[in-house]
Each structure stands twice: as C-alpha cells, then as structure tokens.
Amino acid sequence: MKQILLVSNGHGEDIIGAALGGALRTLGYAVQAVPLVGQGQAYRRAGIPRLGPCRELPSGGFALQSAAALWADLRAGWFSMSQAQYRAVRKAARGALATLVVGDVYALGVGVGFGGQPLFLMQCRSSLRVGGRPYSVTERLLMRWAARVYPREPEGAVWLRARGVPQACYLGNPMLDALDEGSLDLPPPYLLLLPGSRQDAYWSLPVMLEVCRRLRDTALTPVVAWAGLPLEGLEAQGFRLEATGRSEGVTHRLSHPDGTVVHLVQRAFGAALRGSRLALSTSGTAAEQAAGHGVPLVGFPTPGPQYTLGFAQTQKRLLGDALMLTEPNPEAVVRGVRAFLSSETLLERARAAGKAAMGEPGAAARIALDLHQHLQATGPELEQSRSR
C-alpha cells in the first residue's frame, strides 16, 4: 500500500497530523507517524501507528524556554531518545512515498535530515499576526527542500513567496478539523474549561473550578475538556472526582458540597465546542480551535511550562478580541466572564475575531488532496529516482 510518513513535534501538531493522516487515508494512503514530543496520543486515538520512542519529558516540549528546562530534559534522556527517533524516521522514510512534516523548524530539520523526498511541510505554529519575523532564515533555507509549504494563514504564504519560498501555498488551517467527535449527553449552553495538555492543567484547573462555584447563577453547565493527562490530583478545592463508567463523553464528574457539579469530558471535543457559550483557557491548540469555532475565551497565565505570560500574550496577538486575558485568580476570571455575558457586542466581536484568525474548516482534506495530486503528477519521476 502507498505509505506516507508523518513527523510532528508537539501535542497540537500531533492533533493536526492525525487529522491530515485521516484525510490521506480517505485517499487510499497508509500512514505512519513519528511524534518527536510526547507520547503521540492523538495518533493512538486515530489508529495511526507510532514509530520510535514516545515519551513525556519534563519540559513538555518547551526545553528552550529556560536553561533549567533544557537541563531537565537532557538529564531525562533527550539526546538518546532523539537519536532513536531520527533512526525511526530514516527507516520509515525508505518505504514511504513522501514525508509530511507538521511543526516548526526543528521538525522540518528532522524531516530534511532523515526523511524521504518529496517532503511536505504544514507549518502550523508561526504567524505574522503576532509580529516580528515568523520564519527564520534557517527555516526558509530548509523550506527549499519541500515540494509544498502550507502556512497556517494566507499572509504567511504571501510573505514566504516574496522571500524565496515560491512553493508556499495556503489551503487553510487543519487545526479546525482535528476534533474528537464523540457524543455528549449534556444540556447546553456550556462553560467550557480548557486547562491544556501539559502540567499547567494541574495548576489552572483548581482556579477554574473555583470560578465555576462563583458562576452558579449563570445557568451555564461547566464542562472540562480533558486532554488525557493522568487524573490523579484533580480532587481540588473541595471537589470530589467520580467516574461515570463511560470511555467517552462525560467520563468523570467533579462534585462540590455546595452543589456545584463540573463534568469532565474526553473524546467529545467537537460536541463540547458546539454547545459552548464561553470558555476558560490556559491551553494552546484547544484555545485556537475554540476561537475558530466561534467560542470566546477568557484566559490567564500559569507558572508554565506552556501557558506562561509570554505565551498568553502571543496568543492574544494572534486571536485578538476572541481572547480576554485576566490576572490568574478566580476574582479576575469571574469579572472577565461576566463582562462577556453582559455584552452581546463583546461576544459577537469575539466570535468574529476568532473565525477571522483561524479561517474556514476543511483544510485537512484540501491539503491531503493537494499532496495526492503532486504525487500523481510526479509519480513516474519518483519511480525512476527510487529505482536508481
């Protein structure tokens, strides 16, 4: 069977890679993936085979944020793990028709150095909207090895083509297509809690739970979109964690003696988004998906490793009015929520800004088709080069 190799470096990138992998499977390709950061759970859930070592390191993929984070990853075996991942990419590339990289300059470097040709890049991280020069000289040089470069926004394609990357082509942001579509048997509207997929979640979720207690008068049903982290340690602020016995949808409930009930949802993010009026967020990819689907966000910074003040401010520049940033305490977050709920103008402005920043759904299918058409057009040439 025709094989495509996926290489990605991050939780959000894995989610996008899984969406692209599903679209490629629809076109008749077999797909394998090498996740360079974390365990690649999005691929596991999508039934896409994972190759190479898949481990969580202390920094959660943010080793370059500080010397301490880098040192912790090195002590945890980053070098030996990375070497094994490079070998897995090289081995898998020998039997693949193409390599599709989802990520930034590091993932692209791995794809160029160890993957096969032709190489395709979905650059889902960088954005001109946050200011500065989003693509370094090094990254643009590596992009010249790619048959296609798919930026996350139309401005990115224009910027890259003007700077020596003529194969840059904007087809949309597949992040919007990467949603778990399990059922959710809960009455909307929801107050959606997005604590994130890294250790930030254990710090921010207690703040969000206290916010839910103070918003019982709003008639919003609190729903936590849980990203698969271990559930130990979630009994915070007097809440008791109870399993429902379900493997998707509402898998757990957090109950407080004052009557507050918060529903923990897994593998049903699409249904949660469609029923949400507002979201509290300390997340990366999930926040952008929510904004793109018209859900306004109230966010606050954490001690890290991901949703630090700098990360939050960068996300604010990307999403604009779709994201309201507050101080990291329940009182400030509650004020932000009530400001949104008391103003239909603010809500509509937030919905419009989120959709403008993230584009239209359907990009995964469009990118998969473009890759497929390129392989068909260059098929005889590829066969000749492989037979030499």
- From residue 54, alpha-carbon distances to 8, 36, 43, 50, 197 in Å are 12, 7, 11, 8, 16
Is this model's pTM higher than 0.85 or not? no
Residue 48 has pLDDT above 70, yes or no: yes
The predicted pLDDT at position 387 comes to: 45
- The pLDDT mean for the chain works out to 90
Summarised one tens digit per residue, pLDDT across range 229-250 is 888 767 666 899 999 999 899 9
Prior bond of 187 cis (ω within 30°): no
The predicted pLDDT at position 381 comes to: 58
Residue 58 has pLDDT above 80, yes or no: no
Mean pLDDT score, 213-233 = 90
Mean pLDDT score, 261-285 = 95
Residue 382 has pLDDT above 60, yes or no: no
Task: Residue 75: count other Cβ atoms within 10 Å of its Cβ.
Answer: 10
DSSP-based three-state secondary structure for 76: coil
Share of the chain above pLDDT 90, in %: 73
Q: Which helix (H) or strand (E) holds 146?
A: strand 146-151
The predicted pLDDT at position 198 comes to: 83
Residues 254 and 224: beta-carbon distance below 8 Å: yes
Residue 63 has pLDDT above 70, yes or no: no
Residue 261: both structure tokens together: 């009930």
Report the alpha-carbon distance of residue 130 to residue 3 in Å, rounded.
36
- From residue 285, alpha-carbon distances to 28, 186, 205, 282 in Å are 28, 24, 17, 10
Residues 25 and 31: beta-carbon distance below 8 Å: yes
Residue 277: both structure tokens together: 């009026």
